[in-house]
Amino acid sequence: MRRAAGWLLVALVAARAAAGTPSEPPGDSLYRLSVPLVDQAGRAAALDLHRGRPTIVSLFYASCPNVCPLLVAAIQRIDAALADAERARTRVLLVSLDPQRDTPAALEQTAARLGVDRSRWTLARAAETDVRRLAAALGVQYRKLPDGEFNHSTVLALLDRDGRIVARSSVLGRLDEEFVERLRHEAR
Amino acid sequence: MLLAATSAAEPTYVPVEGGALRSVLPPAPQQQETRVAPFRLRRTAVTNRDFLAFVIRHPEWRRGTVAALFADGGYLRHWAGPLTLGAEADAEQPVTQVSWFAARAYCAEEERARLPTWSEWEYVAAASESARDARQDPAWRQRILDWYAVPGDRPLARVGGQPANFYGIQDLHGAIWEWVEDFNSLLVSADNREQGDPDRTRFCGSGALSMEQKENYAVLMRIALLSSLQAAYTTRNLGFRCARGDAEPGR
């Protein structure tokens, strides 16, 4: 009985190691930040929910009139440039700057409107101070305006499997070839 | 008694009545005033002594241990060791070579406080010793500008070296640069020509803010510096003090 339990433990440890699960992320990984998220389905998630996959991360808000649709279009353009197998391995995480208005229902509505693949794309919200920390770590500047809109700089960050920022893009109007190249490399 | 001698004195938080601020960075073109709610601000900046006590209690914030995401290679570089101040870091000097992440963690963990917002900082920094808002006083302005002309490699003065301002707060000018909570909200367009259409691809909502009161160079320089920083950056002249909102529990 004892021996069986011992073998079970060994098997469990081996399985965990094979799945590459929760070792501490590298020191420069974004996943060092503890930022609790709630996704478009109302599920609680951690910032590293896509750990193990290359992930495009950006900040946006659902009611944004000008830039955010361009930002989403830029990510969709990158997505479309990938081979099927690369795309299947790529994840997208969009975190809202506007947790007050971007409820899970509003995020789900946005995801549906944009027609994104919710098996690979996550739209999420986080507490206001956590958004400030996440933006700071990503090098995103933003500011809430009196009319409820937000000024924000647009940055797409590419995270490797362990959450290290390996590429950035602020290119919105056309495909950022360099960014796609790096993503292909990470999705191999 | 022995314990008292080795632990730092309780930091003093000075109450600041709220009010309207005509910021050099107005909230919007059609709204020139920012409301500042009542809050309390640390009378002086956090010192090397204070920060040493923090890293003793929090190994994850020690030099050599801190995650690279949270602090660059210059973090506490002027200390003799991870837990030793040494000759280059006087206990009563403001702590510098600290990142925004580290400054925030200190305020939250050590003093159950937070960093001040830019508006709060600008609001109290508008005061001279005798006036709540001295920004139109040419002599006061000149004094601040003279500090900016001092070379940055001089040793930092110990905290509390300057006369208290109108609120009883010290060293806001003439000592160090200070982190604020929303340093990454100071979106400054380099040039007013950027306010047109091209900017709409850079910034969501309306365009980047334009700075007002061009004659108020000293404060504008602070904004220019803060808006150029990344959260993990550390520099020789950049430290911090903590704040608490009136509704926020102290310790």
Interchain CB contact of A33 with B (< 8 Å): yes
Percent with pLDDT over 70 in chain B = 83
- Give the pLDDT confidence score for residue A149 in this predicted structure: 86
Please tell me which of the candidates B104, B208, B231 has its beta carbon nearest to residue A151: B208
Average pLDDT score over residue span A9-16: 50
Please determine, for residue B83, whether its predicted confidence score (pLDDT) is greater than 90.
yes
- Give the pLDDT confidence score for residue B174 in this predicted structure: 85
DSSP string of B184-230, one letter each residue = GG--B-SSGGGGSGGGGGTBSSS--B----TT-HHHHHHHHHHHT--
A3 confidence band (pLDDT: 50, 70, 90): low
- Give the pLDDT confidence score for residue A117 in this predicted structure: 94
Interchain CB contact of A151 with B (< 8 Å): yes
The hierarchical CATH code for the domain B2-245 is 3.90.1580
B205 confidence band (pLDDT: 50, 70, 90): very low
Q: Where are the domains of chain B?
A: 2-245
The structure tokens listed for B179 are 């982190």
User: pLDDT tens digits for B91-107?
Assistant: 999 999 999 999 999 99
Contact B186 A132 (CB under 8 A): no
- Give the pLDDT confidence score for residue B212 in this predicted structure: 60
User: pLDDT tens digits for A69-89?
Assistant: 889 999 999 999 999 999 999
User: pLDDT tens digits for A29-62?
Assistant: 999 999 999 999 999 999 999 999 999 999 999 8
Nearest to B20 by CA among B6, B37, B7, B3: B37
Query: Is residue A73 helix, strand or coil?
Result: helix
- Give the pLDDT confidence score for residue A173 in this predicted structure: 86
Average pLDDT score over residue span B142-154: 79
Say which range, A96-110, B61-75, B199-213, has the weakest mean pLDDT: B199-213
Interchain CB contact of B181 with A (< 8 Å): yes
Average pLDDT score over residue span B66-90: 97
- Give the pLDDT confidence score for residue A21 in this predicted structure: 54
Contact B205 A27 (CB under 8 A): no
CA distance A171 to B251: 47
DSSP string of B14-34, one letter each residue = EEE--EEEE-SS-SBTTB-EE
- Give the pLDDT confidence score for residue B24 in this predicted structure: 85
Chain B partners of A61 at a C-beta cutoff of 8 Å?
204
Of B161 and B28, more confident: B161
Name residue A134's amino acid. Answer: L
Q: What is the mean pLDDT of chain A?
A: 89
CA distance A160 to B112: 35
Q: Are A170 and A164 in contact (CB under 8 A)?
A: no
Chain B residue with CA closest to A147: the answer is: B28
User: pLDDT tens digits for A84-106?
Assistant: 999 999 999 999 999 999 999 99
Please tell me which of the candidates A29, A137, A145 has its beta carbon nearest to residue B231: A137
Q: Are B37 and B243 in contact (CB under 8 A)?
A: no
Contact A65 B205 (CB under 8 A): yes
**CA quadruple B20, B24, B28, B29: dihedral, nearest 10:** 110
Please determine, for residue B190, whether its predicted confidence score (pLDDT) is greater than 60.
no
Contact B227 A141 (CB under 8 A): yes
Chain B partners of A144 at a C-beta cutoff of 8 Å?
185
CA distance A120 to A64: 22
Contact A32 B205 (CB under 8 A): no
Contact A153 B182 (CB under 8 A): no
Chains A, B: CB contacts within 8 A come to 99
Say which range, A20-24, B14-18, B73-77, B130-134, has the weakest mean pLDDT: A20-24
Average pLDDT score over residue span A151-157: 90
Average pLDDT score over residue span A119-145: 95
Q: What is the mean pLDDT of chain B?
A: 86
Interchain CB contact of B230 with A (< 8 Å): yes
Chain B partners of A32 at a C-beta cutoff of 8 Å?
67, 69-70
- Give the pLDDT confidence score for residue B214 in this predicted structure: 59
CA distance A80 to B105: 41
Cα distances (Å, whole numbers) of residue A20 to A17, A51, A166, B35, B220: 5, 10, 20, 50, 49
Please determine, for residue B145, whether its predicted confidence score (pLDDT) is greater than 80.
yes
Taking the CA atoms of chain A, what radius of gyration do you get in angstroms? 18
Please determine, for residue B182, whether its predicted confidence score (pLDDT) is greater than 70.
yes
HSE-CB for B231 with a 13 A CA cutoff: 26
Interchain CB contact of B108 with A (< 8 Å): no
Provide the shortest C-alpha distance from residue A117 to chain B (in Å): 24
- CATH 3.40.1350.10 for domain A24-186: no
Please determine, for residue B1, whether its predicted confidence score (pLDDT) is greater than 50.
no
CA distance A146 to B195: 18
Q: What are phi and psi of A31, to 5 degrees?
A: -70, 0
Do the strands A156-159 and A165-169 form a parallel or antiparallel pair, or are they unpaired? antiparallel
Taking the CA atoms of chain B, what radius of gyration do you get in angstroms? 19
* Alpha helix (H) residue ranges in A56-127: 67-81, 84-89, 104-114
